[in-house]
């Protein structure tokens, strides 16, 4: 990710540290299931959970030799876990770990996005019912749209108005959207759009 365009909380999710942590979460979860099935000893799982540790620097160092990121990761775990490490990654492929971990990372990312959209939705609803009398605060790199078309306002704000539809139907649509208050006519909509596609909640102000 390009650091200067990345929100701190989003950057933390996609950091190397968090990526490997998710790999470890997956490995431990699989070990726990194996223990429940009797495939591996339960005391081995306890030892794995208590001793499992890694560092990004050490994994990078090992990878220079192995030329394989997952092998470098499990090797670093083995250095810290000891004998019980032979049960780590048992029955798994690299893709099993990486793909599952990526799903966890995407879930965390979506939670941040949904929270931001919900906040924007609340701002829009408040502005529609209680028109803002003051001028919008200056926003860098913003797009300002002036319109007397309520439908255009609705289309612009639909992602924020229909967050519930997006969460339940995995889609963002204007279907069944509640009409924007008539006082949105002749309004100014300010959208702060970053170069990476991130959008801050819109500010609606009456003319």
Composition of the chain by helix, strand, coil, percent to 5:
60, 10, 30
Assessment of whether the complete model's pTM goes beyond 0.75: no
Q: Is the pLDDT of residue 139 over 60?
A: no
CA distance 124 to 191: 12
Residue 27, exposed/middle/buried by CB under 10 A (0-12, 13-18, 19+)? buried
Crossing angle for the helix pair 16-37 and 56-66, to the nearest 10 degrees: 80
Q: Give the model's confidence band at 125: pLDDT under 50 very low, under 70 low, under 90 confident, else very high.
A: low
Could you report the per-residue pLDDT of 72-86, keeping only the tens digit for each?
A: 999 999 999 999 999
**Residue ranges per structural domain of the chain:** 3-92, 116-206
Residue 189 in 3-state DSSP?
strand
Burial of 169 (0-12, 13-18, 19+ CB in 10 A): exposed
Architecture of domain 3-92: Orthogonal Bundle (1.10)
Mean pLDDT value across the chain: 74
């Amino acid at each position: 990710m390009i650091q200067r365009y990345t929100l701190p909380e989003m950057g933390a999710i996609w950091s190397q540290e968090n990526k490997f942590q998710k790999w470890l979460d997956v490995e431990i979860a699989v070990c726990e299931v194996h223990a429940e099935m009797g495939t591996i000893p339960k005391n081995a799982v306890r030892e794995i959970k208590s001793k499992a540790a890694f560092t990004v620097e050490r994994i990078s160092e090992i990878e220079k030799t192995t030329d394989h990121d997952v092998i470098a990761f499990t090797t670093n775990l083995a250095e810290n876990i000891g004998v019980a490490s032979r049960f780590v990654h048992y029955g798994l492929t690299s893709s099993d770990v990486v793909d599952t971990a990526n799903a966890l990372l995407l879930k965390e990312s979506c939670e941040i996005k949904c929270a931001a959209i919900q906040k924007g939705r609340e701002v829009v609803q408040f502005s529609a019912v209680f028109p803002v009398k003051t001028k919008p605060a200056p926003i860098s790199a913003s797009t300002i749209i002036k319109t007397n078309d309520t439908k255009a306002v609705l289309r612009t704000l639909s992602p924020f108005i229909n967050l519930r539809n997006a969460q339940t139907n995995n889609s963002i649509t204007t279907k069944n959207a509640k009409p924007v208050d008539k006082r949105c006519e002749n309004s100014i909509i300010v959208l702060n759009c970053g170069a990476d596609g991130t959008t801050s909640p819109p500010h609606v102000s009456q003319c």
